[in-house]
Amino acid sequence: MADKSATQRQEDGDSAAEISEVGWEVFCKLCLCEQPTTATRELQSCNCVFCVACLQQYVQLAIMEGGGAPITCPDMACQKSGVLLDSEIASLVSEGQVELYQRLSFERGVKLDPSKAWCPVLECQAVCSLQPSTEGQPGAVPCTTCRAVFCSACRGAWLDGHACSEQQPMMSPSHGSRPHGDADLPIKQCPVCGIYIERNQGCAQMLCKSCKHTFCWYCLQNLDGDIFLRHYDKGPCRNKLGHSRASVMWNRTQVVGILVGVSIVVLVTSPLLLLASPCILCCICKPCRAKNKKKKRKKDLSQPDSSTS
């Protein structure tokens, strides 16, 4: 009896060790698989949990295609809109990729900062500070590194009697007032995150790849909740969506059809589920009853054996 109890304790200890090593499983929304907690990582900004392998691939892709933009939580339904910290990025990718991300992030910060500019001299490439000029007109910018002087608008050499071809006020994208000619520009900045977006052709409803913000290309108005695209029915952007009226109506018909179809399915299946609920409960309870009967039989068989011993 002592030997049996010792072996049983050893087996229990081994099973407990295996459970502690494996741990509880967590569902990863990226690979759609359950992973042990030892192979997962929790983001500090939003507390979302993903497996380490998926996070590594996601961060590598975000560095290569994000252009230095902040790496957000890969969960599209994240309520906190978490952003990965620099320490988390460094622990998921190699040192070379971390240096690449820091360089791209710095270059993006210079591009988005209206008070900074790159020196146009190829051998220099220093960051120069732009001094605000009168009425927002271009002015001379001296480089403290190579001593070159260039125009703040066209980046050309500043000479006596310089005539810049871009005689327009220099304005930050955060300002509300914009020139009327900006509607035809091929490159604009996202009104939320400020990343540069180029539109070659197609629809005027734009989706920012960095912050997933939907907006109108012409007036930069928010279109996140406009599923029927009513913004292009009136106002200055009327009939500027880039699609024909028939295609817009067909899109709206599809959206309405999907909503109506889902509601019909819910209305039809709800009474059927109520009628079938007793059968479902019986089917669920039958295996439970069979298991309970088997347990009672085992207990009844084990009781006479213990009495004889």
- The residue whose two tokens read 């009104």 is 191
* Closest listed residue to residue 118, CA positions, set 97, 95, 85, 141: 141
CA dist 68 and 97 (Å) reads 11
Pairing of strands 25-28, 140-142: unpaired
Other Cβ atoms closer than 10 A to 218 = 19
Active site residue ranges: 203
In 3-state terms the chain splits into helix, strand, coil percentages (rounded to 5) of 45, 15, 40
